Chain A
Amino acid sequence: MTCDEVDGRRDDYADGSLSEGEFQEVELHLSTCAACREQERRLRLILAEARALPRELSPSRDLWAGVAQRIEAGRRGRATWWLGLAAAAVLVGAVSVSLLRRSDPVPVSVSAPGPVTVPVSRVSLPREGTTLGAAEQEYERAANELLAALQDRRQSLSPQTLANVESNLAVIDQALTEVRAALGRDPGNKDLTRMLVSAHRKKVDTLRRVVRLSTSL
């Protein structure tokens, strides 16, 4: 069995649905191919992460503390949230690129950002190995940063604009809930994983755009 053939059977191998013959062939290949073994290890990791995903993801207390700190910092100085915004953009770029490469068999290796309140030039370079659950938290953190920034800019926006933005964020949040529920029924589904990341990215992109445009006033 070739690497390509194993690649096409990896999902079924992981969920134990291969025939006995195919299972043995995959096992044989994995025993001699380090690259495929690594892919299989990553797949199992992401499956475990997907199973562990909460139905309603809310930032941890530590994360909320960080967000609160940044909001407070934002109130003290106008420049601070801009740095957060720029850093959030760096984060989104980093996570998106790694997670959304469609050629990857399973999006397992994502990049995490450094602290978001330091100047952009000092943002830590992404580190490898962040998993889906951690990536979701990072997206949530970026979204919260931007929501705080938007909160600061509310007076610049018309009630109609704010209402539209909020209703669209609600649409995205609903989508996130639906995709997570689907992932709960089919953990490790590559398309759903990609869709989950895509919805997170859309939320952050939307917020980023509104905040950026509102700051041009």
Chain B
Amino acid sequence: MRPAAVLFLAFLAAPAAAQSTIDQHRSAAPDGTVDIENMAGSIRVTGWEKNEIVVNGKLGRQASGLNLSGGSSHTRIEVETEGNPHGVRSDLDIKVPAGSRLKIDGFEASITVTGVTGTVQAETVNGSITLSGGVKDVDLQAVNGAVEVAKASGRIKAESVNGAVTIRDSSGELEASTVNGALEVRGGSWTKVRVETVSGNLRFEGSLGKKATLEAETVSGSVELFFPASIAADFSFSSFSGSIDNDLGPAVPRSHKWTTEKELSFSYGGGGAKVNVQTLSGSIRLHKQP
């Protein structure tokens, strides 16, 4: 083989050779704190029944190692890098005791959490965050990526700046927001909901308890609410220049005397839950679920 070809093949093989595979184990308390930091790549965390933490995956080029340290009640998992960690893309597949309390930091990393029943706090800049399974308390924040929560319960906080936020089949208290991504709540039963966007569209399709509150606010996005005909709630809608359409109660909103503002307030099913929606220029539509 010619020397140039050998050099070329060596060059091609170098990145793969530089990636190291990891397989580390450590005992952990069933409800201990686990801090995870991987600036670029992916972080996948799965809750299991063992009192043990297992980290598998591949460390990126220029990663100097994996720091797995701490005691059983507080474990730290960190990809260590030399220089700017942006270019060091590592993929971690981590198993933790299901009741763990997770704190996950990424930057250019996607984050996936499944089956963790403790608390979950996760944030990233460029990348999505996906969580499924029951948790007590969840706080997910992305800048440029989608945030998706499924089948969770408890207090849920989900925010993205530029990505969509989707909450499916969950329950409890929800606080969710985006700037210009779509925000959707599909299914689930809620006691307290606060959702807001700047220009992203809002959609809520779920059930509310008798004393539940739902507050939705957007500047220029549209708001669509879907409720079963059995809903018992007091509705209050206000849009400065958008339209209001209502499939459940009165059809004609009251127009403000001096401005284009429209307001609509009414009780349905004897009242109960409080539903307040405000927009500046976005439309509001209340649908009856089939």
- Quick one: which of B129-143 are within 8 Å of A by CB? 141, 143
Interface magnitude class on chain A: 35 or more
A179-B105 in contact (CB<8A): no
- Quick one: which of B98-133 are within 8 Å of A by CB? 105, 107-108, 123-126
B256-A161 in contact (CB<8A): no
A213-B144 in contact (CB<8A): no
A192-B240 in contact (CB<8A): yes
A21 CB → nearest B CB, Å: 18
B241-A182 in contact (CB<8A): yes
- Quick one: which of A142-192 are within 8 Å of B by CB? 156-158, 160-161, 164-165, 167-168, 171-172, 174-175, 178-179, 182, 185-186, 189, 191-192
- Of the candidates B86, B126, B144, B278, which one forms a contact with A194 in the assembled complex, judged by CB atoms under 8 Å apart? B278
A199-B143 in contact (CB<8A): no
Total of A-B residue pairs, C-beta within 8 Å: 108
CB contact under 8 A between A179 and B161, given known A192-B280, A213-B143, A217-B107: no
A213-B125 in contact (CB<8A): yes
B208 CB → nearest A CB, Å: 17
Contacts of B234 in A (CB 8 A): none
- Quick one: which of B33-56 are within 8 Å of A by CB? 37, 39
- The answer, yes or no, to whether B207 is at the interface (CB within 8 Å) is no
B199-A210 in contact (CB<8A): no
Contacts of A216 in B (CB 8 A): 37, 39, 105, 107
Which residue of the partner chain A has the closest CB to B105?
Answer: A216
- The answer, yes or no, to whether B283 is at the interface (CB within 8 Å) is no
Contacts of A179 in B (CB 8 A): 219, 280
- The answer, yes or no, to whether B180 is at the interface (CB within 8 Å) is yes
B50 CB → nearest A CB, Å: 30
Docked pose: A217 CA to B238 CA in angstroms: 43
**Pairs across A and B, CB under 8 Å, 22 listed:** A102-B276, A156-B84, A157-B125, A158-B126, A161-B126, A161-B144, A168-B161, A171-B180, A172-B198, A175-B220, A186-B240, A195-B217, A198-B217, A199-B198, A209-B123, A209-B141, A210-B143, A213-B105, A213-B123, A214-B107, A217-B84, A217-B107
Given pairs A15-B258, A161-B126, 13 additional interface contacts (CB within 8 A): A157-B125, A161-B143, A175-B198, A182-B240, A182-B241, A186-B259, A209-B161, A210-B125, A213-B124, A213-B143, A214-B125, A217-B84, A217-B86
Task: Mark B residues whose CB is within 8 Å of A.
Answer: 37, 39, 84-86, 105, 107-108, 123-126, 141, 143-144, 159, 161-162, 177, 179-180, 196, 198-199, 215, 217, 219-220, 238, 240-241, 256-259, 261, 276, 278, 280-281
